[in-house]
Chains A and B, each alone.
Chain A
Amino acid sequence: MMKPHRRKRLGIILFIAAGLSVAIGLTLFALSQNIDLFFTPTQVAQGEVNPGDRVRIGGMVREGSVESAQDSLQVRFATTDYVHDVDVYYEGILPDLFREGQGVVVEGSIDPNGVFQASRVLAKHDENYMSPEVKAALDAAGASADNHPMQPES
């Protein structure tokens, strides 16, 4: 037989353990619902991204690819890891540091025509700083910061 105060203590411990597991379970569920996977342009070209899935793509803005409409806020550009390109369509105002030949991360999904419909465009606000995503994309494609003249120094 357990002593009453021991039983009380055991009750408290069980209660805390149950509460903790519920909290952890809910947190992990919320996490799994909100993961944005990141892909490189090469992975997109290889068909790793299903149309309609919300993903992030990072790369450089291909030089000479930016076309912005004169009478609306529509913009088209290509993001690239210098091996493959992904065409991006965006309607809105681009961030201050968005420039050709600079790193960019786009968030959105691929439409059936293979064009990436971006809901958000992110450019970093320190020029000397390249986001790990963009860096990883370039590294994966074999274009390192040293051998491409258009890249920001890092």
Chain B
Amino acid sequence: MIPELGSFSLILALCLSVILGTLPIIGAHRHNVLWMSLARPLAAGVFVFTAIALLILAYAFITDDFSVSFVANHSNTLLPTRYKLTAVWGGHEGSFLVWTWMLTAWTLTVGVFSKSMPLDFVSRVLGVLGLLIAAYILFMLGTSNPFDRIVPLPPADGADLNSALQDIGFIVHPPTLYMGYVGLSVVFAFAIAALLSGRLDAAWARWSRPWANVAWAILTIGIALGSWWAYYELGWGGWWAWDPVENPPLITWLFATALIHSLAVTEKRGVFKSWTVLLAILAFGGSLLGTFITRSGLLTSVHAFASDPTRGVFILGILGIFLGGSLLLYALRAPLMKSDVGFGLFSRELFLLANNVILVVAAASVFLGTLFPMVYQAITDDLISIGPPYFNAIFSPLMMLLVVLLGIGPLSRWKRTSGSYLLQQLGKVAIASVALGIVIPLLVLMEISIAATVTLILAVWIVLSMGKDMLNRSSNKASLIQGLRSFSLSYWGMQLAHFGIAVMLVGAGLTSYFASEKSVLLEQGQSTELGRYTFTLQDSYPIEGPNYVGSRTDLLVQRNGEEYTILHPERRVYVASGTPSTEMAIDSGFLRDLFITLGEQKESGAWSMTLYIKPFVRWIWLGAIFMALGGSIAAADKRYRRLRQRKSAEQQAASKGAAELQPAS
């Protein structure tokens, strides 16, 4: 009975979201205040009923209700309770419910934190989000209802959660990624609302910016968590595989990064309006594409959901309607977006435009590489795959170029900057970066390494040009400390995020070129060497967990002949599904990770295993944390709040006037 209440609750949410998607938008068009004022309560209603559905699904998991097909396929009585809860998003149906619920949560948040915006604008934003929610719930009810029952005979026990998903990284990765994805829908809704109302001005950009920054920051963390999870759980020793499921979040992230930069130009200078709107649409399209690729099973990937063609068609339909519709609207409204303000050849506008072009080209080339196999198959009927070398060959030079510009952009001025000014500002910085980039690897490695040199030159370039900019900006203050205090939060946010790029660059560059690995077969007492480390297999013995059995090994690690640590990689078989799984042993450090994956045990008792040394690998995720922090801090700038208060006072006065003038309709 209770699962049926879940379905019922979803149907109610669908009805409310359909009303939310129609009445407020029509109301905004006809200046009907009553219809517009329905938007906020409706958004709350949709949220409540979707949340009830989600709670009911969680309840079904906790009470082991295996008559519900989704629970039976993704849980088991032996599964620890925390994993029963996280199994809610361990499969297609449940994760889509979480996704939709998050969209309703964002919608409600917009409703609450939009008191300062004009009512017609808020109604349009919430209305667009309502349409999107309606489409998602319809998709859920039509093709993948998480509350479907197994009739007439439910299984006695469930099939268990995929063992790779029984893990802390998995508990947090998908919700974070969804949260970021869905946050971009909000920015999309702002853009559509602006197109609908014909008001594409600096105010619209200012309203969008904090939302875009927060969504971007969450997306950054979501992708980084995915990379971290894949690194320590999937055990192939890498942190990014250019897998078709990893690529759409990256494409979306690249668009979103371009978007937050373009929004800055639109807010400050009133140019790039049409481009900003297009980026908002593209970023949203990227998030839908991610859903489509993951859930349609069209591409080979390590973590696609089991496929069902009707779902793919349905999502493609949503993609077509929303993208096609918004692009059509975009085309109709294009004349409104003309901007008459010009800018010079060297100006901050131009550097930000270059940033956008590079990011969009990078996104397009990843997109091409991801979808090319599908297109190729459709045309020639041959199956192909595009390997990492393609992506690395395209992506690395683009990012290098981007980093060079990253040093110049913040120092350049709006409207017009002379080339000689930039040279005077950055000449010494450039020389210092090159010098440090060459000297540091020489001192540390005692040999010339082009990869390390290039990586360090670029990283030092970012950091030094940031320092130069901060010095410049505080030069008219009494002291440096006072100067630093005077910077706005959005400036600190930008610098922090750019610093994160430098940190991530060091991590990615050095890990890719200096990682070492070795596959060996070790008998008890035997040892092998890798780099400065000696690994000795001391012992192996059987273990038993709540829902698995397996073997555990003791590996003594010595550094330069002295005992350093003992690592315990494991090999498990999950009882319910019979799935084997490797538990990596990782000794993580600031400067390097030691990483061991266990293979199989031979009849002689010897174990096969792969040993890895990954220098600076943590810096990749550390950089992502800095970037996300930067985005959040920038969104908290008091400029957005202050304007909000002032605006809201004006608005109240204005809307009072409007209400009085409006005849009752």
Interface presence of B41 (CB below 8 A): no
* Interface-lining segment among A78-86, A130-138, A143-151: A130-138
Q: State the CA gap A105–B597 with chains docked (Å).
A: 21
Interface presence of A50 (CB below 8 A): no
Interface presence of A111 (CB below 8 A): no
By the criterion CB–CB under 8 Å, are A93 and B304 in contact? Answer: no
Task: Count contacts between A and B, CB distance < 8 Å.
Answer: 102
Shortest A57–chain B CB gap in Å is: 11
By the criterion CB–CB under 8 Å, are A125 and B164 in contact? Answer: yes
Shortest A106–chain B CB gap in Å is: 12
B residues near A38, Cβ cutoff 8 Å: 382-385
Q: State the CA gap A99–B188 with chains docked (Å).
A: 46
Q: Give the B interface residue count (CB, 8 A).
A: 48
Q: State the CA gap A72–B382 with chains docked (Å).
A: 36
B residues near A97, Cβ cutoff 8 Å: 579-580
B residues near A113, Cβ cutoff 8 Å: none
Interface presence of B487 (CB below 8 A): no
Interface presence of B608 (CB below 8 A): yes
Q: With A31-B369, A94-B599 in contact, do A36 and B386 touch (Cβ < 8 Å)?
A: yes
Q: Which residue of the partner chain B has the closest CB to A36?
A: B385
Shortest A42–chain B CB gap in Å is: 14
- Pick from A35, A68, A129, A133: contact of B306, CB under 8 Å: A129
B residues near A92, Cβ cutoff 8 Å: 519, 610
B residues near A132, Cβ cutoff 8 Å: 297-300, 383
By the criterion CB–CB under 8 Å, are A129 and B307 in contact? Answer: yes
Shortest B387–chain A CB gap in Å is: 5
Interface presence of B372 (CB below 8 A): yes
B residues near A129, Cβ cutoff 8 Å: 297, 304-307
A residues near B599, Cβ cutoff 8 Å: 73, 93-94
Q: State the CA gap A71–B606 with chains docked (Å).
A: 8
By the criterion CB–CB under 8 Å, are B386 and A31 in contact? Answer: yes
Q: State the CA gap A30–B468 with chains docked (Å).
A: 38
By the criterion CB–CB under 8 Å, are A31 and B368 in contact? Answer: yes
Q: With A70-B602, A70-B603, A73-B519 in contact, do A93 and B306 touch (Cβ < 8 Å)?
A: no
By the criterion CB–CB under 8 Å, are B608 and A93 in contact? Answer: yes
Q: With A126-B303, A128-B306 in contact, do A56 and B365 touch (Cβ < 8 Å)?
A: no
A residues near B383, Cβ cutoff 8 Å: 37-38, 132-133, 136
Q: State the CA gap A36–B520 with chains docked (Å).
A: 28
Q: State the CA gap A106–B274 with chains docked (Å).
A: 47
Q: State the CA gap A37–B376 with chains docked (Å).
A: 11
Interface presence of A45 (CB below 8 A): no
A residues near B385, Cβ cutoff 8 Å: 35-36, 38, 56
Shortest B171–chain A CB gap in Å is: 17
Q: Which residue of the partner chain A has the closest CB to B365?
A: A27
A residues near B600, Cβ cutoff 8 Å: 68, 93-94
By the criterion CB–CB under 8 Å, are B577 and A127 in contact? Answer: yes
Q: Which residue of the partner chain A has the closest CB to B164?
A: A125
Q: State the CA gap A118–B234 with chains docked (Å).
A: 20
Q: With A70-B604, A71-B521 in contact, do A30 and B303 touch (Cβ < 8 Å)?
A: no
Q: State the CA gap A47–B662 with chains docked (Å).
A: 81
By the criterion CB–CB under 8 Å, are B382 and A126 in contact? Answer: no
Interface presence of B332 (CB below 8 A): no
By the criterion CB–CB under 8 Å, are A35 and B386 in contact? Answer: yes
Q: With A73-B608, A125-B164 in contact, do A96 and B386 touch (Cβ < 8 Å)?
A: no
Q: State the CA gap A35–B519 with chains docked (Å).
A: 28
Q: State the CA gap A37–B533 with chains docked (Å).
A: 40
CB interface residues, B 557-614, toward A, < 8 Å: 577, 579-582, 597, 599-600, 602-604, 606, 608-610
* Interface-lining segment among B16-24, B48-56, B107-115, B389-397: B389-397
14 contacts between A and B (CB under 8 A): A23-B361, A31-B369, A31-B386, A34-B389, A36-B387, A38-B383, A70-B602, A71-B604, A93-B599, A93-B609, A97-B580, A125-B164, A129-B297, A131-B300
Apart from A73-B521, A93-B608, what 8 extra A-B contacts exist at CB < 8 Å? A27-B368, A31-B372, A33-B389, A34-B389, A35-B376, A91-B519, A132-B298, A133-B383
Q: Which residues of B are in contact with A by a Cβ distance under 8 Å? A: 162, 164, 234-235, 297-300, 302-307, 361, 365, 368-369, 372, 376, 382-387, 389-390, 393-394, 519-521, 577, 579-582, 597, 599-600, 602-604, 606, 608-610
